Chains A and B, each alone.
Chain A
Amino acid sequence: MALAKREPAASGYDLGPLEFTGSQMIWEALLREGVKIVFGHPGGAILPAYDALAEYEADGRIHHVLVRHEQCAAHMADGFARATGDVGVCIVTSGPGATNLVTGLATAQMDSVPVVAITGQVPTNLLGTDAFQESDVVGVTQPVCKHNYLVTDIAELPLVMKEAFYIAREGRPGVVLVDICKDVQIETGIFRYDFEINLPGFEPWPEYSPESVQAAAELLNESERPLILAGHGIHLSNTSEELLQLVEKAGIPVVTTLLGTGNIPETHPLSLGMGGMHGEAFANRAVQACDVLVAMGMRFDDRITGRLDRFAAKAKIVHFELDRAEVGKNIVPDVAVIGDLAETLPAFLPQIKERRHQEWVDTLSEWRSETDEADIIQFEVEELIPPFVIRQLWHATEQTEKRVIVVTDVGQHQMWESQYYIHEHAGMLLTSGGLGTMGYALPAALGAQMSDPDALVWCVAGDGGFQMTLQELATIQQEKLPVKIAIINNGFLGMVRQWQQIFYDKRYVGTPILSPDYVKLAEAYDIPAAVVRHPSEVVSVLEQAHKTDGPFLVDFQVKEEVNVYPMVAPGAAVDELIRRPKPGYVQGYSGVQPSW
């Protein structure tokens, strides 16, 4: 039996045996898992559980956030989980309630976010009869869950709840769904929570082999041009510190994945920022030129590798990874270190020689100076362009004492945020990297803010993605949350439009998108808002947003047809990228053109 590594919050609750209804058991289990906030939407098949919730809400033990669409319940649980590192919980009814969850669950699962979803199901005697609001939730969600359960017998309920949290939390985190029949919620049974978890097929924490660490160290010590490619696993295993020690001891430059953003401070001289499809040219050139690539807690997604057979072709590859199945899935490494980074990194560090790799670092600096993206930002611009907005947002948030969390949606603004915002630490950026779910930002920002009311949470979304889940403005107001919202409004589904421009001969089919008057919309929800049309207004409006207690919405009406560069075309190698246009050809800039 694998032992739990991450203890749930100490609950101090009686572990039983106690007599409860199934509904009470749900909440009692949540309490014992340290859950205080759930995101949900009631309905017929989950009504008994909601009825039982009354007593837990009355004394403040559990707070329920009513969402306006079940997809957002999952996104909020996801945002909550990413911001806290512990399990986020959502609860919805059967049928449409549960099927609405699917996108949110898939989003969390793709990005290894621990979420437990509880869904009501029709009573056991109606199972399989196509009863009202019945759907095969376990069947529907199976491919997007780490594991899921259908509970038809109250005797199983406490153990299932405990296993659900255990599986979601332990090892590579993920989504577990528990589908509970309505009659099970109503029945009374014996509740206990002192079970030993016995899951012989579940191997959350594979033991690392010291030989593999040694082999990895030998490769790295001989390297002249080493590079680290750091992913989400660094953040999940809380090993940013160890990574930084390694980087500084051995003088190794670091490229991150999108979800690895901030693994080492982006102001660090050895940080090359994000690699892959929209990574800077010098980061991708580094990947292609290195002789040893140490990948840590990442899965060689196609957005980071580009064309696989030409990815890091000159390099020996070392793969530090917890999930055995990720090793050899896309890239077969020369050395694999399978295990928890919290164990393998500390074992690795003392075996690494102190090095500077000056020549290599100098080469990279030279490449970097060719792409001095900082210049892009500093110049005065006549038109409002998104990179400028993002950089100003960074300047504005840099001054705050508060914990800053930026939540981005999916598309051009997401890539600009990643390029022009300067992330100082892991976990600062929450974004849907794997599934690429439009509509993620607003509900996830809400979930993150629920976990930390004092944090400064910025939701950055495009006009397309924002309109997918904007109904949650009501939830923000109902919960009185101070979420700040920046809409990067360019009148297009911008990333799709960019692809149409580059790969489809500029045929803009289905991409021009109408927006409502966002200031009026915000007013309808009683949320203060402002519109920004000119670069000169950006700073003052951001100040106004920060000074406002409570939520604030800014509609940045940016220049329409601006592209994200550099860009690696799908199927191309990561060094065959489309660079930023040369000075003089760039729209949106005036005066002195920076030299890119």
Chain B
Amino acid sequence: MQYTLVAWMRDKPGVLNRVSGMLRRRNFNIDSLQVSHSETPGISRMTFVVDGDERVADQVVKQLRKVVDVTAVEDITNRLAILRELALIRVRTTPATRGEIMQFAEIYRAQIVDVNAENLVVQAVGTEDKVDSLIELLRPFGIEEMVRTGRVALCRGDERPKRTKPATSIFKAAASLNGSGHGDPE
């Protein structure tokens, strides 16, 4: 299954390389990795989507924690969280198809951010599922170019990660974070 992990790290040269190098070396399967500034100056925030079982996710968390520049790691898979991805999709248009494409975009609350005679660019924001399904709708028209940001995640209200050190506890396979699905009321 897919796990959503969030890591905070010191914003230093090479830190992304340290993290991605570790993930590659340990042969973890990462579906997406997104990095940005956080609310704290000097601290970057990374969102990972990890494909694997709970042991893999547990190892990714632990190995991430060992990277000296990584200050905290949270597995938010089972938290109520807002999961979003942004996609920019350039679709080929003809006078006959332009209207239909724009209608699809509207249904998905996507925006048209660029337009000319031959194509237009749709900006879609939503869960990966939603973006995926819009892309499938647009594909028959001819997608000329596309970019996706990968998943970003923010927990809702009280589900916010505490970013504290984990309490040392009796490790049990079953006790590590698991479960299914991501809370998204939308």
Q: 20 A-B contacts, Cβ less than 8 Å apart? A: A142-B17, A142-B21, A143-B22, A143-B25, A201-B71, A202-B68, A203-B65, A208-B168, A209-B168, A212-B169, A323-B66, A324-B62, A324-B65, A324-B168, A327-B171, A332-B55, A332-B171, A333-B171, A334-B172, A335-B170
- Shortest 3 CB-CB contacts between residues of A and residues of B: A336-B171, A325-B62, A201-B71
Closest residue of chain A to B60 (Cβ to Cβ) is A325
Which residues of B from 8 to 22 have beta carbons under 8 Å from A?
9-10, 13-14, 17-18, 21-22
Interface residue total, chain A, C-beta cutoff 8 A: 34
B58's nearest neighbour on chain A, judged by CB, is A328
Q: Is residue B36 within 8 Å, beta carbon to beta carbon, of the partner chain?
A: no
Is B168 a contact of A201 with CB atoms below 8 Å?
A: no
List residues 76-134 of chain B with CB under 8 A from any CB of chain A: none
Does chain B have a CB within 8 A of A341? no
Decide: B169 and A325 in contact? CB cutoff 8 A.
Answer: no
Complex Cα–Cα for A335 and B55 (A): 16
Q: Are B170 and A138 in contact (CB under 8 A)?
A: no
New A-B contacts (15) at CB < 8 Å, excluding given A209-B168, A209-B169, A324-B62: A142-B18, A143-B25, A150-B13, A203-B65, A206-B165, A211-B169, A212-B170, A215-B170, A325-B65, A328-B55, A328-B62, A328-B176, A332-B55, A333-B171, A339-B168
B26 to chain A, nearest CB (A): 9
Question: Measured between alpha carbons, how far is A301 from B18 in the docked complex, in Å?
Answer: 24
When chains A and B are docked, how far (Å) is the Cα of A212 from the Cα of B175? 14
- B153 at interface, CB cutoff 8 A: no
B169 partner residues in chain A, CB cutoff 8 A:
209, 211-212
A139 contacts chain B at the CB level, 8 A cutoff: yes
Tell me if A212 and B168 are in contact (CB < 8 A).
yes
Least CB distance from A5 to B in Å reads: 16
Q: Give min CB distance, A220 to chain B, whole Å.
A: 14
Q: Which residue of B lies closest to A332 (CB)?
A: B173
Chain A 129-149 against B: per-residue CB contact (8 Å), 1 yes, 0 no?
000000000110011001100
**Minimum CB–CB distance for B130 against chain A, Å:** 34
Query: What 1/0 flags go to A314-325 for Cβ under 8 Å of B?
Result: 000001000111
A206-B168, A215-B170, A333-B171 given; A167·B21 CB < 8 A: no
A329 within 8 A of B: yes
Query: Which residues of chain A come closer than 8 Å to B10, judged between CB atoms?
Result: 201
Specify the chain A residue showing the minimal Cβ separation from B170.
A212
Asked if B59 and A209 make an inter-chain contact with CB atoms under 8 angstroms apart, the answer reads no
B167 at the interface (CB under 8 A from A): yes
Q: How far is the CA of A329 from the CA of B63 in the complex (A)?
A: 10
Give CA–CA (A211, B175) in the complex, Å.
Answer: 15
* Chain B window 149-174, contacts with chain A (Cβ cutoff 8 Å), 1 for yes, 0 for no: 00000000000000001011111110
Q: How far is the CB of B171 from chain A (nearest CB, A)?
A: 4
Contact A325 B9 (CB under 8 A): no
Bound complex: CA of A201 vs CA of B11, how far in Å?
12
Contact status B171-A328, CB under 8 Å = yes
Please give the distance in Å from B54's CB to the nearest CB on chain A.
Answer: 10
B69 A201 Cβ-Cβ under 8 A? yes
Min CB gap B94→A, angstroms: 48
Shortest Cβ distance from B120 into chain A, in angstroms? 40
User: Which chain B residues lie closer than 8 Å to A215 at the CB level?
Assistant: 170
Smallest Cβ distance from B125 to chain A, in angstroms? 31
Complex interface: chain A residues within 8 A of B138 (CB): none
> How far apart sit A323 and B168, CA to CA, in the bound complex (Å)?
11
Task: Determine how close the nearest CB of chain B comes to the CB of A345; give it in whole angstroms.
Answer: 16
- The verdict on A200 contacting chain B, using a C-beta distance below 8 Å, is yes
A426 part of interface (Cβ distance < 8 Å): no
- Taken together as a complex, chains A and B put the C-alpha atoms of A211 and B165 apart, in Å, by 18
CA separation between A461 and B174, bound complex, in Å? 46
Interchain CA distance A199-B171 in the complex, whole Å: 26
Nearest CB in chain A: distance from B114 CB, A? 35
Take A212-B168, A324-B62 as given contacts and tell me if A143 and B21 are in contact as well, using a CB distance cutoff of 8 Å: yes
Shortest Cβ distance from residue A537 to the other chain B in the assembled complex, whole angstroms = 49
Does B146 sit at the interface, judged by CB under 8 A?
Answer: no
Closest to B62 in A: A325
**Does the CB pair B68–A146 fall under 8 Å?**
yes
Contact between chains at A325 and B63 (CB < 8 Å) = yes
Q: Does B49 contact A (CB under 8 A)?
A: no
Identity of the chain B residue whose Cβ is nearest the Cβ of A336 in the assembled complex: B171
The complex places the Cα of A147 from the Cα of B15 at a distance, in Å, of: 11
User: At the interface, yes or no: A338 with Cβ under 8 Å from chain B?
Assistant: yes
Q: A residues within 8 A CB of B173? A: 328, 332
Instruction: Confirm or deny: A549 has a beta carbon within 8 angstroms of a beta carbon on chain B.
Output: no
Interfacial chain B residues near A208, Cβ < 8 Å: 168
> Is the C-beta of B70 less than 8 angstroms from some C-beta in chain A?
yes
Docked Cα-Cα span, A305 to B21, in Å, equals 27
**Contact in complex: B167, A201 (CB < 8 Å):** no
In the complex, what residues of A have CB within 8 A of residue B63's CB? 325
Q: A144: nearest residue on chain B (CB-CB)?
A: B25
Please, how many angstroms separate the alpha-carbon atoms of A329 and B60 in the complex? 10
- Judged by a CB distance under 8 angstroms, whether A7 is at the interface is no
**B65–A201 CB distance below 8 A:** yes
- Asked if B67 is at the interface of the complex by the 8 Å CB criterion, the answer is yes
Contact A167 B68 (CB under 8 A): yes
By a CB distance below 8 angstroms, the chain B residues around A211 are: 169-170
Within the assembled complex, what's the spacing in Å between the Cα atoms of A339 and B70?
20
Chain A residue nearest in CB terms to B73:
A201
Cα-based distance from A224 to B13 in the complex (angstroms):
55
Once bound together, how far apart are the Cα atoms of A142 and B19, in whole Å? 10
Q: Quick check: is B72 within 8 A (CB to CB) of the other chain?
A: yes
On whether A329 and B59 interact (CB within 8 A), knowing A139-B17, A201-B65, the answer reads yes
CB distance from A564 to the nearest CB of B (A): 30
B168: contacting residue among A142, A167, A202, A207, CB under 8 A = A207
| Chain A residues closer than 8 Å to B14, beta-carbon distance | 138-139, 150
Contacts of A139 in B (CB 8 A): 14, 17
Q: What's the minimum C-beta distance from A179 to chain B, rounded to whole angstroms?
A: 11
Distance A340 CA – B167 CA, assembled complex (angstroms): 15
Do A200 and B71 form a contact, CB below 8 Å, given A143-B25, A212-B170, A336-B171? Answer: yes
CA distance A339 to B166 in the complex (A): 13
- Chain A nearest Cβ from B62, distance in angstroms: 4
B5 to chain A, nearest CB (A): 14
| Interface-central residue, B13, B67, B171, by most chain A CB under 10 Å | B171
Within 8 A of B (CB), among A138-181: 138-139, 142-143, 146-147, 150, 167
A294-331 to B contact mask, C-beta < 8 Å, 1/0: 00000000000000000000000001000111011100
A325 and B14 alpha carbons, distance in the complex (Å): 22
**Of the residues A143, A146, A203, A323, contact of B165 by C-beta under 8 Å:** A203
A209 near B170 with CB under 8 A, answer: yes
**Distance in angstroms between the alpha carbons of A323 and B17 in the assembled complex:** 23
Complex: chain B residue closest to A209, CB-CB:
B168
**A-chain residues with CB within 8 Å of residue B13 when the two chains form the complex:** 150
Residues of chain B contacted by A209 (CB below 8 angstroms):
167-170
B-side contacts of A207, CB under 8 Å: 168
Closest Cβ–Cβ distance, residue B155 to chain A (whole Å): 20
